[in-house]
Amino acid sequence: MAMNQAVRTLRRIGGRFARTVVSRMLGRRMHPSWSVAQETLVRAMRSDSGQGSEDPVRARRAAEQLALPSLLRRKVDIEKRTEGGVPGRWFAPKEPAGPLPVLLWFHGGGYVIGSSRTHADLAIRLALAGHCRVFVPDYRRGPEDPYPAAVEDADAVYEALLGQVDADRIVVGGDSAGGALALVVCAHAREADRDMPAGAVLLSPWVDLTATGGSLIHNEKYDWITLRGIEVWGEAYLAGADPSNPDISPIYANLRELPPLFVEAGECELFIDQVREFVGKLRDQRVAHEYHEWDCMVHDGYFLAPFLKQSRDRFEGIGRFVKQRVG
C-alpha cells in the first residue's frame, strides 16, 4: 500500500514538473529565484494539499495520501505509544549512546489536518539532527474536536513527559499550528509553576489567527497554502472561540520568562508578517531567541527535504539548537 501511494505521489509530481517546464518556456515563473525543482514541488503541494476544499476532513484525507515513506526510515526506531492519554509515535535514532534527550513535536496542519504519520519524515530528520528522541502526539483536531481540545492534549503530553524526563532534557517544538501549541505549552508551564522545557523550536509558526492583509495577500501567489484554506481551517478549529485568545494566537500572550526560542520562517510564506511581528515582541519583552528568515522559501519548506538540498540543510541549525539547549 505504501509503495502504491508513493507511485501515485511521484506521478503527480511528474505532472507538475511538465507543467512547470511549459510555464517557464512561456515566460511564466512562479518566483524568479526558484529552481525548476522548487517550483515543481510548490505546485504539487498547492494542488494536492486539499487547500481548495471547503471540507476540512477531505483536506485531511488529501494530506494523508500525499505523505511519502521516509527514505531515512531505516535509521530510526519508531514506536506507537500513548503519553498523557494522547496517542502518537516515538522516533529515536538507532543505537543511541546513552539516554537521549526528548523533543516533543506538535505537528502542523491548521489544527484540522496532519498527524504523526504525515510528519514522520520531518520527525526522523529532527531526531537525527538533534540526536534525540522525538514524540509526535496525534492531538485532537477540528472540526470534530475544536478548541480547546488540542491545547488540552498538548498540556497533558508535556506533563506526562515531565514524569519521565527532567525538564532540562526536554525541548518542545512544532511547525505551523504546532509552533503555536509549543508556545502555549511553555506559557502554561510558567503560569502553573511547572518546570519549563529547556527551549522551544518554532518553524513557520501560525501565531496570529486574527491577522489580515499584508503577506497573507501578497505572498499567496507564491505559497502552497492559501488564504481561503487557512480561513476554513481556522473556522473549523475556533468553532466560535475568540481568535485573539492568547491560547489560540500566542502573539498576544505574555512572552516574558519563556525558555530560549529558535524561530524560523520562509520569506515567501503567508505568515511571514506575523512571524516578524512576533519576533519583534520577543525582542521587546527580552526573550532569548534566535531568528532565521529563509530566503525565497514558502510555508513549512522542511517538507521539501526529500527533494531539495536547501531544505535538508535547514535541519543542521535546528539540531544544533536542540543539542545546545539540552547540554
Strand partners, 199: 171
Q: What angle do CA 214, 273, 308 make, to 5 degrees?
A: 110
Which are the contacts of 153, defined by CB distance < 8 A and separation ≥ 6?
84, 85, 86, 137, 139, 140
Contact (CB, 8 A) for 161 and 101: no
List of long-range contacts for 280-289, beta carbons under 8 Å, 24+ apart: 281/251, 281/255, 282/255, 285/254, 285/255, 285/256, 286/256, 287/255, 287/256, 287/257, 287/258, 287/260, 287/261, 288/259, 288/260, 288/261, 289/260, 289/261, 289/262, 289/263
At 174, is the secondary structure helix, strand, or coil?
strand
At 325, is the secondary structure helix, strand, or coil?
helix
At 327, is the secondary structure helix, strand, or coil?
coil
Q: Where are the beta strands (DSSP E) in the chain?
A: 76-83, 86-93, 102-106, 133-137, 170-175, 199-203, 261-266, 289-294
Question: Which amino acids are annotated catalytic?
Answer: 176, 269, 299
* Separation of alpha carbons 182 and 184, rounded Å: 5
Peptide bond into 69 cis (omega under 30): no
